[in-house]
Amino acid sequence: MTAHPQGRIRRAVLRGALCAVAVVAGAGLTGCSGEDPDAGTNGVGKLPAERIQSRTRAAADSADAVHLAGNVVSNGRTYRLDMRLKSDGGTGSVTSQGVTFGLLRVGEQLYLKADAGFWDRADGDGKGDGGAAGKLDGKYVKVPQGDPAYKRFSGFTDKKVLLDGLLTLHGTLATDGHHEQSGVRTIRLTGGDGTGGTLDVSLEGSPYPLRLERAGGAGTLSFSEWGKDFPLTQPATDQTVDYGRQLPTS
């Protein structure tokens, strides 16, 4: 039987009045605020914070590749990272104290690429383009695995090391509502009510981490291009230099 139009109108008016009362009272009735924020999502937004964290870590670990960009503060120094990473290496750039250098790791072999100014400043020989710095300008310099620079810089090219170190929130986990990052709906995780960092997790497709604010103002990073492959090959021989001794580091 078709409902009488006046009956539908009365019910609509009553529903609107109830919603208004709920807003004033701070109660919040289901359906009064419009669409379900988790409708059409991957469903992780309805999970407890600990399970969301578990799901996003599993998604990140299983992804073949990722692009991360942003700032990381470590040992009192700020590093600006723009890196593409996968399980067998990574490539990109790092900026620290106004100096930018490129990193490339293919398997176990790490290369550092920078201009003469970087090497001149790092080596401190004052010879500029006339010394060793000029020979290294714009070249891929092999970093020996036993060199202190290898340990210092290879972590920037290691997907597992970076994600294990970054995707950790400190303190009691909680959710902090639905948000959006670059047009993608997210659920936000917090550690220690935000003092232990915040992490936005995608509600669309796989629950990948999309944006991280580290605890204590130790940097902000964005994550994108999850699972998108990229070429990772050894540089050409004529573009490679074997430094032959311990590398200088700035």
pLDDT per position as a tens digit, 6-61: 554 454 444 444 444 433 444 344 445 567 888 999 999 999 999 999 999 999 99
Of 55-64, 76-85, 86-95, 129-138, minimum mean pLDDT range: 129-138
Q: Give the mean model confidence (pLDDT) for residues 126-132.
A: 51
Decide which of 117 and 71 is more confident.
71
CB 188 within 8 A of CB 200: yes
* pTM score: 0.79
* Torsion-angle region of 247 (φ positive above 0: left; ψ -120 to 50: alpha; else: beta): beta
Q: Give the mean model confidence (pLDDT) for residues 65-70.
A: 98
CB 103 within 8 A of CB 156: yes
Q: CA angle, corner 106, sides to 104 and 111, nearest 5?
A: 35
State the pLDDT at residue 223: 98
CB 60 within 8 A of CB 163: yes
pLDDT tens figures, 179-226: 999 999 999 999 999 999 999 999 999 999 999 999 999 999 999 999
Q: What is the mean pLDDT of the chain?
A: 84
The whole-angstrom separation of Cα 67 and Cα 91 is 10
